[in-house]
A and B are shown apart, each in its own frame.
Chain A
């Protein structure tokens, strides 16, 4: 059986990829995708911990399902915001969307 550590390493790697995407990409849609990656990394952790440490309690699975739901709605809201911004300012570059400042 594959040890738990491997799953954790995979999840950490996935998280880092997502984090890099969020911090480094200029396209807002790509940033959204980075966030999705980070959420899925967390899901991986949750499921792995459930399977290896408390397989009798299904809390880990439930948690993962909730995260899916949140991720889906977040993606919907995020994409809607991006479309709205694009319509107004004709750009999806995060650096150029800097209205929220002094």
Chain B
């Protein structure tokens, strides 16, 4: 089949699955998950076929698979929508299809399929004792809809269709964070996530509108693969802060990324989003949706960097992007160090790693950003699924021992490597990939490429920040692995933890393979000065997306050694600090770091700051100003005034007109008729002879009258 046609069909099965599950099969759990997974499998199959054709096509960047249909007729022409598979969307499609499929399968085990429904479980609350999730079918409907949104976003050939997929995912994120809506924290988190990302989306929509009015099209190829348009946008001043039009549009679109990919200052929603079920955290809040933000930034790299030349000084927009990315990478990494919740550590880690990619986009390391996007999706999905497996095992232990311990607190774990060997091995592989363990793991190659690029182009501040963030990353990853799996169990619950079912461990193994192998496609040429003759396939392939292929970097020892050193050092320190963690003891960092640790633990107080700056003023505005003053006071007052006036007028009308005049007249007619009837009825005697006499008398009178007075 032609790849364009196949690409059209990729997002279709999940949306069909969504409707079939919602409308027809939601009573049957088995049927619902079979349909969802079957649909995802079909999408996966088509995605792989398209991917295979994409990587076997020569010069895909110049001749992408593209097809489009007219969509909305507008004043000046017609808005087309279509599909586009160029190298960037091909690799994105690859990791999205794999991670989504893995997570669909994982969800079956995670939601305890095959177990009895616990009669005490209520919809809207997590199962308490390992019974099947009460809203099992609904979960699969939601993730199917989500997969549709993500696949649409990836195969889309224009910004508007991308935005539609983007918003569908935003909706699914909202629905799935609040999947256990019985929990107050989940309800708060869902609203927080929705509103926070909305801030970025508004700016993004502005950027879309601006881009459309400036170029008259939203098609990627027509804007990003067109030197004239880019040069024109780069030359035209926008009138804001001396930026070019391209720079301003890029910045507005980038704000969409900031919201979706949880970059500082809109990062606050992602950690709270961990209230959702773990497969959701893995799929939406680690591997795909938050990656979509970075995908947008990478996709619009030509626009963001318009007016910039390889090796030249950064434009304003790029400086902003690089700053936010690098700052977020370090900022989130420090917070992750002080978190106790196994999922929250990973959430902050996700923010930090996304910051890495954003920083890479900002300094012009296009291929490195895309590379890290792919490898991160695999190993972070793996880590989240691993943490879900750990939590599952811990919850089993908690239930068995009837102890009241938090199943997500790492300080309650320990020694799980013997209980959960598969989870341990795969989680460790993911963790090492995240820390950038040298040579073996995927994370090393992608992270190293970003650092090398930052170093080679002289962005020393970014380089140092990212290197420091990498050190912290390795540290908190090892902290997590040590606290969770190594040492001795610190609680009874941890002693009774057990390995998860195969539907949960199989996806872990698959993702673990990718967490290692995904890096091998991007080994830089001339690595370690060796001339192995292996081309850097990833660089050549993805670099082809750009009009001007980015040159490969010359090998340099300094970033490599830095990267190896920070990774190893971080891992070593993490292990040394936490290997003897005793049960009930506080975090060993708490004392030496003091106030800094508290600041990290409290996430620098951003939640409180936003609460003070935005949430409470908004509540005040809603409660006091809008509700009490405007709504109750002015609007209700006006309405009540009108009503009271009408009431008074009506009463007067009734008393002075309706009752005396209208009713009086009616009554008078009625009474008069009644009285007349009563008077005259005595004439009606019923005696026929009397009538005859009366008739005789009157006819006599009539006759007399006629005879006497008529001629």
Contacts and interface: CB of A to CB of B under 8 A. Distances in A.
Given A23-B689, A31-B688, A94-B688, 17 more contacts: A22-B689, A22-B692, A23-B692, A23-B693, A31-B689, A94-B687, A94-B689, A95-B689, A97-B686, A97-B688, A98-B685, A98-B686, A98-B687, A99-B686, A101-B685, A102-B681, A102-B684
Interface string A64-102: 000000000000000000000000000000110111111
Interface residues of A, number: 12
A19 B693 CA distance: 10
11 contacts: A19-B696, A22-B689, A23-B696, A31-B688, A94-B689, A95-B687, A95-B689, A98-B686, A100-B684, A101-B686, A102-B684
A17 to B, nearest CB: 15
CB-CB nearest 3 A-B residue pairs: A101-B686, A98-B686, A102-B681
Nearest to B693: A23
Contacts of A94: 687-689
Contacts of A101: 684-686
B686 A100 contact: yes
Contacts of B687: 94-95, 98
B692 to A, nearest CB: 6
Interface of A: 19, 22-23, 31, 94-95, 97-102
Contacts of B685: 98, 101
A97 B686 CA distance: 8
Nearest to A95: B687
Interface string B676-695: 00000100111111001100
B698 to A, nearest CB: 14
B442 to A, nearest CB: 111
B674 to A, nearest CB: 13
Interface string B32-49: 000000000000000000
Contacts of A31: 688-689
Contacts of A100: 684, 686, 688
Contacts of A99: 686
Nearest to A26: B689
A90 B656 CA distance: 61
A101 B691 CA distance: 12
Nearest to B678: A102
A10 B681 CA distance: 40
A2 B644 CA distance: 98
Contacts of B692: 22-23
A38 B449 CA distance: 137
Interface string B312-354: 0000000000000000000000000000000000000000000
A62 to B, nearest CB: 26
A31 B690 CA distance: 13
Nearest to A28: B688
B462 to A, nearest CB: 113
A100 B683 CA distance: 12
Interface string B74-98: 0000000000000000000000000
B15 to A, nearest CB: 82
B542 to A, nearest CB: 109
A101 B690 CA distance: 12
B249 to A, nearest CB: 97
Contacts of B689: 22-23, 31, 94-95
Interface string B605-646: 000000000000000000000000000000000000000000
Nearest to A96: B687
A54 to B, nearest CB: 24
A30 to B, nearest CB: 11
A100 B688 CA distance: 9
Contacts of A22: 689, 692
B336 to A, nearest CB: 103
B591 to A, nearest CB: 113
A98 B687 CA distance: 5
A100 B689 CA distance: 12
A97 B513 CA distance: 117
A28 to B, nearest CB: 9
Contacts of A97: 686, 688
A102 B687 CA distance: 12
Interface in B280-317: none
Nearest to B680: A102
A23 B688 CA distance: 9
B543 to A, nearest CB: 113
Nearest to B677: A102
B291 to A, nearest CB: 98
A77 B427 CA distance: 116
Nearest to B685: A101
A20 B686 CA distance: 20
A19 to B, nearest CB: 7
B410 to A, nearest CB: 103
Contacts of B686: 97-101
A31 B686 CA distance: 16
Contacts of A19: 696
A22 B689 CA distance: 7
Contacts of A23: 689, 692-693, 696
A101 B681 CA distance: 8
A98 B57 CA distance: 116
Contacts of B696: 19, 23
Contacts of B693: 23
A37 B172 CA distance: 107
A99 B692 CA distance: 16
A102 B685 CA distance: 8
B696 to A, nearest CB: 7
B201 to A, nearest CB: 86
Interface in B694-708: 696
Contacts of A102: 681, 684
A51 B133 CA distance: 119
Pick the most buried of B684, B688, B696: most chain A CB atoms within 10 A of its CB: B688
A37 B133 CA distance: 108
B464 to A, nearest CB: 117
A97 B691 CA distance: 13
A99 B687 CA distance: 8
